[in-house]
Structure 1
């Protein structure tokens, strides 16, 4: 009995560590693409294509493992993913041959996607998936920010960012001992999932996955070329650019902390819809920046809001299926959008310039905010806890769930709401009211017949 809390804490730590390792490559995408272009003599579009290939490998792993993490076992799948990360990114770091770098990036990307899939499935099964997602984003933002501050002082070339990601995978590996090994841990299908474990909330999940693909693509189209905007259009040096990115990710830490403290008080629709509109304005500002001040303002404001909205999106995806399948599929769709981002950003910037690219991406973000907000507002992935009342908004119930220790009799956070079945009540024939006679009405007293 005393070993349960440490075990639970260790499982959360392992999931957060896996989340950090899996998301580190997308967070380091600007410096990876920039150093591939400078170190290997690749053009901007070619370097962006290599970054996209890396992230395509990550997305393909997520789609392949969406419903198989339980069958393989979280511990085994996580260790396989970390091993692929170490081998793939380590090969890319040690080689200067473009084919080997590309092959290593693909293998490492598949490992990143595997680690992310295990983390997403595990986070979806936590009592409060939003807070667990916020912890993961907090960890990866801090790690990436530290690397952005450190890497410019250690030298150029593509070796360092790839080596940093490979080293992170190696450091995270011991924490997988806290994950279940898969024996006897197969989840019971949720009440609304069907006897055969069919995906619940398929319409809402499909809309959310498609919208988050475009949402991630729009933002990472700018993120993939932000380094070139800072160097060529805003006039920053590489050291100053690394400082701006580090400050931006540091601001992202504050945003994630704020999102974790806010929790579900505002629901999910307001942070997702309003936050995406703010992101669209920041994208427009960063892409049109002509000096260090405007560029830094846009990047810092953007990275403050981005992880906040992402944490709510991941929490929303986790609430659609307690077994974590929608969390993995939506995360993989996000990775696919991230993968397409560098190529889209390079093509748009070459065709319309950086300001024209920003205007296009701003319009796209405003468009996809509508379906994401609709899913957050109307999807029935709200928690069912003692004392909850069936209603459209679910914020009070979510706050209660975040402060209530779940037991075996209480459904997990995000479990589908149970339908209220009407009970047939036999009709009683109406009888005319008659005043009883005095002699026929007697109160029974204790002890009397």
Structure 2
């Protein structure tokens, strides 16, 4: 067994610290319905104002990602990860400990910036993993399990707006030990790819823009799902928490299925077909007037949402192995999440819950096409075990990984395929072979 000191310096970081950071960064958007609902119920705020505070929280998260997209490789993941977790603990802790509205808003902004920093570091590290899709699926699995447990626990701990903020702060504090396993700055990234141009600029912009609208549509409904359940479907807070926990449990099953499925279907089918099915679930959930319809829509929707998101994260990671597109696409997604609560509240007040669902479902169908096109034409296929080829089949991977093969000649699993360049060959004139014969000896006459 190789000891830790003998590991190559270019080896990617372990997956579990990135999963912990991913969980600490994503748990705030997952708890958004409880955060917005309790702000509306326990502070002198209207539903639109409570949604605005949720949007401000997630705007801070998006701002962190856009700020740190090109700086993580230069400074290393450990310092920004620790700063982000510290900001999350201080910000959310302040929002939980006070009822003064200015301090609650300031704490939400600071905590959101800390969550976005942790998410950016996790996304950058996931892009450098040997199997980015598997690591992102593990991160979504962890955050879904954490949020599901919190949805079951928080209603039994009492009311007040501070409990969700305190829970997010505790999750961030629990992720602090994982930062010790993160590495320092990558010197090759400083002088190499990190300072160069972003690959696939058009595809990356289309993916980031589509993911922003994709997240906006879904989180517009997610931000008002609590109001739909209580006001339109007639559910109590305890029953609503059970429905949300079951929905996040279905998300666990969906992420597990996506991790087991891997790249067998590529990325285009899960992203395109999954987004179309999510649009139908959004329309069903927003038009429900009872427990059955609301629970069915929420559970099916949350089962599909992390599946599509895991493939979208893997697609962004495949566009740039340094993780810059993964960070930018994640920040664009956070921007859409930030605008979601306000959009949902405005649409619900203007067109009702059912009309809001139709608008959001149409928006999801509109962005499914461009995101699928990016997956088809620019996503490529990462090099995984058994696929180190273009058309050669599994034996090429067996030969590449065989004993005695030089390690430097084997592409790192998870790296993008190298482009094939045609080299023109100049035709040479045919060679002429001259056959030399020796004269036979003259026969002597006897």
Pairing of 1:43-54 with structure 2 (within 5 A): 43-54=46-57
- For residue 37 of structure 1, the aligned residue among 20, 36, 40 is 40
- Aligned CA distance change for structure 1 residues 217 and 187 (closer, same or farther; 3 Å): same
Residues 189, 323 of structure 1: 8 Å contact kept: no
Deviation at 1:426, TM superposition (A): 2.9
Alignment match, 2:420: 420
Partner-residue secondary structure (3-state), 1:240: helix
1:14-48 alpha-carbon deviations (Å, 9 max, x no partner): 10000000000000000000000011121100000
Deviation at 1:418, TM superposition (A): 2.3
TM-score (norm 2): 0.90
Alignment match, 1:25: 28
1:273-323 alpha-carbon deviations (Å, 9 max, x no partner): 000001000000000001001000000000000000000000000000000
Pairing of 1:290-309 with structure 2 (within 5 A): 290-309=289-308
Alignment match, 1:370: 369
Alignment match, 1:2: 3
Alignment match, 1:445: none
Are 1:280 and 2:259 counterparts? Answer: no
Alignment match, 2:359: 360
Are 1:72 and 2:75 counterparts? Answer: yes
RMSD after superposition: 2.8
Deviation at 1:2, TM superposition (A): 1.6
Deviation at 1:70, TM superposition (A): 1.5
Partner-residue secondary structure (3-state), 1:186: helix
Are 1:160 and 2:163 counterparts? Answer: yes
- Aligned CA distance change for structure 1 residues 12 and 369 (closer, same or farther; 3 Å): same
For the residues of structure 2 that align with 1:272 and 1:404, how far apart are their CA atoms? 32
**Count of residue correspondences:** 429
1:44-100 alpha-carbon deviations (Å, 9 max, x no partner): 000000000000000000000000011222101100000000000000000001110
Alignment match, 2:339: 340
For the residues of structure 1 that align with 2:413 and 2:313, how far apart are their CA atoms? 14
Alignment match, 2:443: none
Pairing of 1:59-98 with structure 2 (within 5 A): 59-98=62-101
Deviation at 1:240, TM superposition (A): 0.1
Residues 401, 410 of structure 2: 8 Å contact kept: no
1:223-271 alpha-carbon deviations (Å, 9 max, x no partner): 0000000000001000000000000000000000000000000000000
Alignment match, 2:264: 265
For the residues of structure 2 that align with 1:387 and 1:260, how far apart are their CA atoms? 17
Pairing of 1:216-227 with structure 2 (within 5 A): 216-227=215-226
Deviation at 1:407, TM superposition (A): 4.9
Residues 248, 303 of structure 2: 8 Å contact kept: yes
Unaligned runs of 5+ in 1: 441-449
Deviation at 1:409, TM superposition (A): 3.2
Unaligned runs of 5+ in 2: 439-446
For the residues of structure 2 that align with 1:6 and 1:238, how far apart are their CA atoms? 51
Alignment match, 1:149: 152
- Aligned CA distance change for structure 1 residues 187 and 141 (closer, same or farther; 3 Å): farther
For the residues of structure 2 that align with 1:310 and 1:231, how far apart are their CA atoms? 28
- Aligned CA distance change for structure 1 residues 267 and 236 (closer, same or farther; 3 Å): same
Alignment match, 2:230: 231
1:364-384 alpha-carbon deviations (Å, 9 max, x no partner): 000000000000000054335
For the residues of structure 2 that align with 1:329 and 1:284, how far apart are their CA atoms? 29
For the residues of structure 1 that align with 2:245 and 2:7, how far apart are their CA atoms? 33
- Aligned CA distance change for structure 1 residues 437 and 408 (closer, same or farther; 3 Å): closer
Pairing of 1:95-114 with structure 2 (within 5 A): 95-114=98-117
For the residues of structure 1 that align with 2:50 and 2:426, how far apart are their CA atoms? 74
For the residues of structure 2 that align with 1:355 and 1:60, how far apart are their CA atoms? 32
1:137-196 alpha-carbon deviations (Å, 9 max, x no partner): 000000000000000000011110000011111111011000012264736745xx8xx4
Alignment match, 2:444: none
Deviation at 1:12, TM superposition (A): 1.4
For the residues of structure 2 that align with 1:28 and 1:18, how far apart are their CA atoms? 16
Residues 321, 414 of structure 1: 8 Å contact kept: no
Alignment match, 1:447: none
Are 1:135 and 2:138 counterparts? Answer: yes
Partner-residue secondary structure (3-state), 2:373: helix
Residues 318, 414 of structure 1: 8 Å contact kept: no
For the residues of structure 2 that align with 1:387 and 1:52, how far apart are their CA atoms? 42
Residues 381, 414 of structure 1: 8 Å contact kept: no
- Aligned CA distance change for structure 1 residues 247 and 258 (closer, same or farther; 3 Å): same
Residues 224, 344 of structure 2: 8 Å contact kept: yes
Deviation at 1:416, TM superposition (A): 3.8
For the residues of structure 2 that align with 1:215 and 1:351, how far apart are their CA atoms? 21
- Aligned CA distance change for structure 1 residues 176 and 185 (closer, same or farther; 3 Å): farther
For the residues of structure 1 that align with 2:375 and 2:237, how far apart are their CA atoms? 40
Partner-residue secondary structure (3-state), 2:175: helix
TM-score (norm 1): 0.89
